[in-house]
Amino acid sequence: MPTAVLQVDVEKIPSDLHLPDKYTRAFVLVRRKGSPIAQFSVPVRDGHVDLERYNRALLQAIGRQSWHWGVEGYLGRPRAVDIASATVAICTRERPDDLVRALRAVGALQPAPAEILVVDNNPVTDRTREVAARFPAVRYVREDRPGLDAARNRALLEATTRVVAFTDDDAVPEPEWLDHLVRPFEDPRVWCTSGLTLPLELETPAQEWFERYSPFGRGFERRVFDGTRHDPLSVSRVGAGANMAVRREVLSDLGGFDEALDAGTPSRSGGDHEMFGRILAAGHRIVYEPAAVSWHRHRRSWEELREALYGYGVGVYAMWTRKLLLDREPAVLIHAVRWFHYGQIRHLWRALRRRPDAVPLDLLLAELRGCLAGPGAYLAARRQLRGRP
């Protein structure tokens, strides 16, 4: 049965939450003065949220966050930077329906960005160009080199601003998303930011398992990752490329995104995390800002989910192969062993023992197959790059 996605404010707690009968659970995002502070799931019975569990979870969320509110009240919020210094880029390929929804959300950003780019990656039809033409504020760019990282680099090249914010075509950023995402760039050492990405819908088992096993969200606490202190090979807590912004200097000073990584190439993913690591290795900072909220439509079918997790496995080990071969970082071998031992083996053991909350075995095996394929996939992607005209 599907899960309802709800939002509540701690200062306006409803006495009852009524939902359509098809829902058996509710995913609840808790806000305070507009800012997200917590999330939890509660049962739904006969169209009503279980208020006892709801109130208990809400009190726990408030208790964990209350000291933050006192600090915020004392220090105040950071002042906003010039929003005109930011470009919003959507890198897309043959998903016009998703793109329409994303562009409507980007068009509602307050304040509006300096420019909006749609980068059409290796298209086979004119559908993306036709969608972009329906939005007067959008500039359409065609990039025929295949791969999400090639499209990201093209966006950095085309942008007329120093900061470029990236959102996916299957994501819906909130109106204040860009404002929160660019504020940290007031610090010259900040070269990248990421935000909180939540599920747009949880209507299918595949979407629920994606959110349980491989969510994009990284919690509700603002964090600063500093290259002088943090391990550049451990970036899983930074965020995701579906909700990030970078300085354009990553193109000129760091060589841009690795075009042998991510969607549209044999490596399938990993381009965002590889760039996070390179930014930290160069001594810069990355800020995770949970107030920059975007809602992502997860894969709806089981086959799509299995393919996605296979791709994530490929991408992680492709990224580590790059770090090992090009960056001469032997420590990636330690990270690979730790991830396998402490993460995947534990999940596999629970699945084989048929624990009720275990991740389905076919998803775990798909991810493992991807891990084994990752090194070869990266080498194949590098060969394709060398073969380009």
Q: Model confidence over 181-238: pLDDT tens digits?
A: 999 999 999 999 999 999 999 999 999 999 999 999 999 999 999 999 999 999 999 9
Same domain membership, residue 274 and residue 168: yes
- Domain end marker among 273, 299, 325: 299
Radius of gyration of the chain (CA): 21
Q: How far apart are CA 322 and CA 260, in angstroms?
A: 9
Within this chain, do residues 308 and 295 fall inside the same structural domain, yes or no?
no
Q: Cβ distance 199 to 295 under 8 Å?
A: yes
Residues 290 and 167 in one domain: yes
Range scoring the smallest mean pLDDT among 17-21, 62-66, 155-159, 359-363: 62-66
Q: How do the residues of the chain divide into helix, strand and coil, expressed in percent and rounded to 5?
A: 40, 25, 35
Task: Report the domain count for the chain.
Answer: 3
CA distance readout (Å), 381 to 240, 267, 268, 335 = 22, 7, 10, 22
Q: Phi and psi dihedrals of 118, rounded to 5?
A: -110, 115
Instruction: Spell out where 93-131 has E strands.
Output: 115-121
Q: Phi first, then psi: give them for residue 258, nearest 5 degrees.
A: -75, 115
CATH number for the domain that contains residue 253? 3.90.550.10
Q: Does residue 238 share a domain with residue 131?
A: yes
Cα-based angle 325, 331, 332 (whole degrees, multiple of 5): 60
Domain residues for 382?
303-386
Distances (CA, A) of 154 to 118, 145, 159, 191, 254: 10, 10, 8, 18, 15
Domain boundary among 299, 315, 350: 299
Cα 28 to Cα 23: distance, rounded to the nearest angstrom: 13
Question: In this predicted structure, what is the pLDDT of residue 144?
Answer: 97
Same domain, 45 and 115: no
In a 3-state reduction of DSSP, which class is residue 240?
coil
User: For the chain, what's the residue count?
Assistant: 389
Rounded CA separation 305/309 (Å): 6
Worst-scoring range by mean pLDDT, 48-62, 137-151, 235-249?
Answer: 48-62
Nearest-angstrom CA–CA distance, 368 and 348? 10
How much is the pLDDT for 83? 53
- Examine the domain organization and report whether 125 and 180 are in the same domain: yes
Looking at the fold, whether 279 and 309 belong to one and the same domain comes out as no
My answer on whether 108 and 146 are in the same domain is yes
Q: In degrees to the nearest 10, what's the CA dihedral of 16, 54, 297, 273? A: 150
Task: In whole angstroms, give the CA distance from residue 142 to residue 88.
Answer: 16
Which residue do the tokens 């502070």 mark?
A: 37
Are 25 and 134 in a shared domain? Answer: no
| 173 lies in the same domain as 257 | yes
Q: 3-class SS at 127?
A: helix
Predicted TM-score (pTM) of the model is: 0.94
Residue 130 one-letter amino acid? E
Q: Give the distance from CA 326 to its chain's centroid.
A: 26
The mean pLDDT of 359-382, rounded to a whole number, is 97
Would you call 13 helix, strand, or coil by DSSP? coil
Domain final residue pick, 47, 75, 103: 75
- Identify whether residues 174 and 33 lie together within a single domain: no
The pLDDT, as a whole number, for residue 138 is: 98
Same domain, 216 and 121: yes
Task: Give residue 16's identity as a one-letter amino acid code.
Answer: D
ω into 111 cis (within 30 of 0): yes
Q: What percent of the chain has pLDDT over 90?
A: 82
User: What band does 33 get if pLDDT is binned at 50, 70 and 90?
Assistant: confident
- Comparing C-alpha atoms, which of 297, 312, 304 is closest to residue 206? 304
Residue 18, burial from CB neighbour count under 10 angstroms (0-12, 13-18, 19+): exposed
pLDDT at 59: 84
Matching residue, tokens 């065609």 = 142
pLDDT at 66: 61
Residue 302 pLDDT greater than 70, yes or no: yes
